Amino acid sequence: TQLLEQSPQFLSIQEGENLTVYCNSSSVFSSLQWYRQEPGEGPVLLVTVVTGGEVKKLKRLTFQFGDARKDSSLHITAAQPGDTGLYLCAVNRDDKIIFGKGTRLHILP
Amino acid sequence: EAQVTQNPRYLITVTGKKLTVTCSQNMNHEYMSWYRQDPGLGLRQIYYSMNVEVTDKGDVPEGYKVSRKEKRNFPLILESPSPNQTSLYFCASSWSGASYEQYFGPGTRLTVT
């Protein structure tokens, strides 16, 4: 059983549409990170959420940490082709880093 | 420029021939780790190091060794590579521990025939 379940696995939408991707778990975490990975490169941190119910915004990206600190969502407003990539959530579990399998997002121009 | 470097970027080798992938960071980070990324399985941690001379197993350590003799370097050693170790490998570092931002290297694509 995966510690972190990300959904959907794949998402292909038109430029300008809105979308939400999810990272869910049955475990409670002290913090959760979102990374974006582009083809041929390593992941790059987008945000770290720490407090239950926390909402962080990064331009058109809105990140929310669930009240119970078991899940998180990433909402993109007016998606652009530059948002294309693999979105990964990650947590610290006893000094190990566990990643979800990711949501592969493709924005069509 | 703050960065994590890995070498080589691409490597094709044969079963059983020992190899080392180097990783170096210039940010004085304490925490370093190695990952492999495979289609359908995602990014999985192989080994991590909390500091010099302190290493520990991640989720998929079998067939790999690491060492941390200096703070900046964290090489990944495959003593006897097998085809199931064909993968994309990433090294990463962070200031102090797994909860901090991980800075990833550019990746090493390894093929074992």
In order of A98, B46, B85, B86, B90, the CA distances from A20 in angstroms are 21, 30, 34, 33, 28
pLDDT digits (tens, 9 = 90+) for B23-61: 999 999 999 999 999 999 999 999 999 999 999 999 999
Judged by CB atoms closer than 8 Å, whether chains meet at B104 and A40 is answered as no
Q: Is a pLDDT exceeding 80 seen at residue A1?
A: no
Chain centroid, CA A27 distance in Å: 17
Distance CA A6, CA A1 (A): 13
pLDDT for res B76: 98
Q: For residue B107, which of B26, B38, B30 has the smallest C-alpha distance? A: B38
Q: Is a pLDDT exceeding 90 seen at residue B97?
A: no
pLDDT for res A2: 80
B 26-55 residues with CB < 8 A to A: 33, 35, 40-45, 48, 50
| Residues A89 and A65 sit within 8 Å (Cβ to Cβ) | no
| Residues A20 and A74 sit within 8 Å (Cβ to Cβ) | yes
Q: Give me the mean pLDDT over the B95-113 stretch.
A: 94
Here the tokens at position B52 are 């010099």
pLDDT for res B26: 96
| Residues A98 and A4 sit within 8 Å (Cβ to Cβ) | yes
Nearest residue of B to residue A86, measured between CA atoms:
B42
pLDDT for res B105: 97
pLDDT for res A78: 98
Judged by CB atoms closer than 8 Å, whether chains meet at A101 and B48 is answered as no
Judged by CB atoms closer than 8 Å, whether chains meet at A31 and B41 is answered as no
pLDDT for res B99: 85
Distance CA B43, CA B55 (A): 19
Q: Is a pLDDT exceeding 80 seen at residue A38?
A: yes
What are the residues whose beta carbons fall under 8 Å from the beta carbon of A29, sequence distance 6 or more?
A: A69, A70, A91, A92
Q: Is a pLDDT exceeding 70 seen at residue B10?
A: yes
What are the backbone angles phi and psi of residue B8, rounded to the nearest 5°?
-80, 170
What are the residues whose beta carbons fall under 8 Å from the beta carbon of A94, sequence distance 6 or more?
A: none
Task: Flag whether residue A59 sits within 8 Å of chain B, measured between CB atoms.
Answer: no
Judged by CB atoms closer than 8 Å, whether chains meet at A42 and B106 is answered as yes
